[in-house]
Every structure is written in C-alpha cells, then in structure tokens.
Amino acid sequence: MKFGVVVFPGSNCDHDMLDALQNDLNKEVRALWHKDKSLDGFTTEDCIVLPGGFSFGDYLRCGAIARFSPMMQSVIEFAAKGGKVLGVCNGFQILCESHLLPGVLTMNAHRQFVCKNNYLKTPGGEPLLIPVAHGDGRFQADEKTLDELEANNQVLFYYCDEQGNVVESANPNGAVRNIAGIRNKEGNVFGMMPHPERAVSATLGNEDGKKVFELLGLL
C-alpha cells in the first residue's frame, strides 16, 4: 500500500505525516499538491491522506475552502472507486466539508484551542493515548445520523479516560457522544481529530499511533 499526502496552503502537519509514514511506518509515500489533479500511479489498494493544519487559514470554516481544491475532486473520485482515504484533524474537517463523511466539526465548546494527550476508546481494544491539537474539533451531527453511525459501527474512536470509560470529563472539545473519529458506511474513508502520526516513535515516547494505523487497516 502506497500513500499520498495532500498539501494545502496552510497545512502544517503534512511533514509530520510524511515522516511518520516513511520513516516510522516504512511506507512508500508521496506529497501531492492541492492544485494538481493527478493521482496517476495510485490504485484503489493505496491510501490518500489529508493531513492536519490550517488550510486556507481556516477562513469561512475549517476545511470549507480546501474542499474546492482540484485535488479534492480526484480524492472524491478515488474514494468512490473504493480507495482508502484518511483525514486527520484539518483533514477530518475537509472530509466532512466534502461530504465524504457525515457531520461537521465546529468550534470547541470551551472556545479555546486544545493541545494535549487524550485517551481514545477503540473498537474492542485497550484505550490509546493520542495527541489532540485543534480549535474546531467538536464533532456534531443530527440525532438520526448519530444513531446510524453507532448502529453501523461507523464510530471508530470515542474520547475516554485512562480506564476506557466514555465520560464527559474525558471529552476535550464537547463533541457529541464523545465522538473522536468516524468512517463512512463503505468503510474506506476515515476521519479523526486526534493525531496518530504524532505518536509513532519510541524516541518521542509514544507508539500508540501505530495501533491506530493498524486498526484502520493501513499497515
């Protein structure tokens, strides 16, 4: 599986993602400029990543302008053919704005940027400690959509405490039902606010992010 990382003006976690994939996860990876359209060389066995950052300065709404980049047209077609797409933080926001994922990311309930490690409850597994860093990470959707997401097992990660309890005190941004990450119905598009690429190196003291990539079937 090869990886492509889309770079938008204002992306600032693109190099973290490129470095994590190439040097910590030993993957073949290529940077893709948002103004290009070509995904030549990628097949539906591969994965396109939308990294974190402040694309277009977060103007209008986080991800609302990036959604119209030429490369996003190709990413939408790639996803429709079954190719894997992962959006982290700003990338998650772009996926929701592109309607590749349901719901929306709004300003944190406490109105402040939050930057810390937070535990995530994962499907069937132990809680993983993954960094969060965002001002607009409050996932929201209508009740019907939320019920559907949960009924279809589309919620990948919930904010939880160290013991794995999904409690409001472990919610860093006021996201509904403590939702930190979701996937689409087909299971090939993943979006999450926490940054697994910042937790894949023993040198940096945390390798829980590797388990996230593994859980998503990307290793």
Catalytic residues: 89, 195, 197
179-183 vs 155-160, strand pairing mode: antiparallel
CB of 71 to ligand GLN, least distance (A): 17
Q: Which is nearer to ligand GLN, 62 or 216 (CB)?
A: 62
Are residues 197 and 97 in contact, defined by beta-carbon separation less than 8 angstroms?
Answer: no
CB of 112 to ligand GLN, least distance (A): 11
The reply to whether 52 sits near ligand GLN by the rule CB under 6 A is yes
In sequence order, the β-bridge partners of residue 160 are 119
- In angstroms, rounded to a whole number, what is the distance separating the alpha carbons of residues 62 and 9? 13
Instruction: Kindly identify the residues of this chain, within the stretch 79-108, that bind ligand GLN according to CB under 6 A.
Output: 89-90
Among 133, 146, 179, 192, binds ligand GLN (CB under 6 A): 133
Among 3, 8, 54, 56, binds ligand GLN (CB under 6 A): 54
The reply to whether 118 sits near ligand GLN by the rule CB under 6 A is no
The reply to whether 164 sits near ligand GLN by the rule CB under 6 A is no
- Alpha helix positions (H), the chain: 14-19, 70-80, 90-97, 143-151, 208-215
Residue 166 backbone class (left: φ over 0; alpha: ψ -120 to 50; beta: rest): beta
Q: What are phi and psi of 170, to 5 degrees?
A: -100, 5
Helix, strand, coil abundance in the chain, percent, nearest 5? 30, 25, 45
Cα 70 from chain centroid? Answer: 20
Stretch that binds ligand GLN, among 38-46, 48-56, 144-152, 158-166 (CB under 6 A): 48-56
Q: Which is nearer to ligand GLN, 102 or 137 (CB)?
A: 137
Stretch that binds ligand GLN, among 17-25, 67-75, 132-140, 180-188 (CB under 6 A): 132-140
Where along the sequence are the contacts to ligand GLN (CB under 6 A)? 13, 52-54, 58, 62, 89-90, 133-137
